[in-house]
Amino acid sequence: MGRRKPLRAAAAAALSLAVLACSKSSTASGATATVEYSVSPASAYFTQVTYTGASGQAVSVNDLSTFPGGKKDVSVSAKPFDAKISTVMNNTTAATITFTIAILVDGQVKAFTNGSAPPGVSAYTTSAEYMVQ
């Protein structure tokens, strides 16, 4: 009777390891990631924002209303995924405009660029890129 307890414990441990190994491998390769593109602060001086859409295509917008709060989320399941964002700003003010564009993956900042558009510049461009694995 003393031998059955160690065998049961070993079988339970092996079963636990097998379950963990299966669940870990199935979620790691096929997991969906949320890619967030961010423009902060969002302003009317941005004349174009281009980002990589969920299917890998470039999406260009000329109106930041499609970026509520300066953010756009894209759900990505095909990896690797080349996340890119670029902006064009028309600074018609007499002051320098500073801003940040960023790429976040599942809530974590992976790439960012600080911009500083001088006064009177009609096409100040910035970009950021990150490969989602």
* Distance from the Cα of residue 36 to its chain's centroid: 4
For 35, the domain range is: 31-132
* The total number of structural domains that make up the chain: 2
pTM of full prediction above 0.75: yes
Domain co-membership, 46 together with 2: no
Domain co-membership, 15 together with 73: no
Q: What is the pLDDT of residues 9-48, one digit of tens each?
A: 333 333 333 333 333 332 344 689 999 999 999 999 999 9
Domain co-membership, 93 together with 111: yes
Half-sphere exposure of 47 (CA within 13 A, CB side): 11
* Separation between Cα atoms, residue 121 and residue 90, nearest integer Å: 6
Domain co-membership, 9 together with 55: no
Q: What is the pLDDT of residues 77-122, one digit of tens each?
A: 999 999 999 999 999 999 999 999 999 999 999 999 999 999 999 9
Give, as one character, the DSSP assignment of residue 28.
Answer: H
Considering only CA atoms, which of 128, 76, 74 is closest in space to residue 99? 128
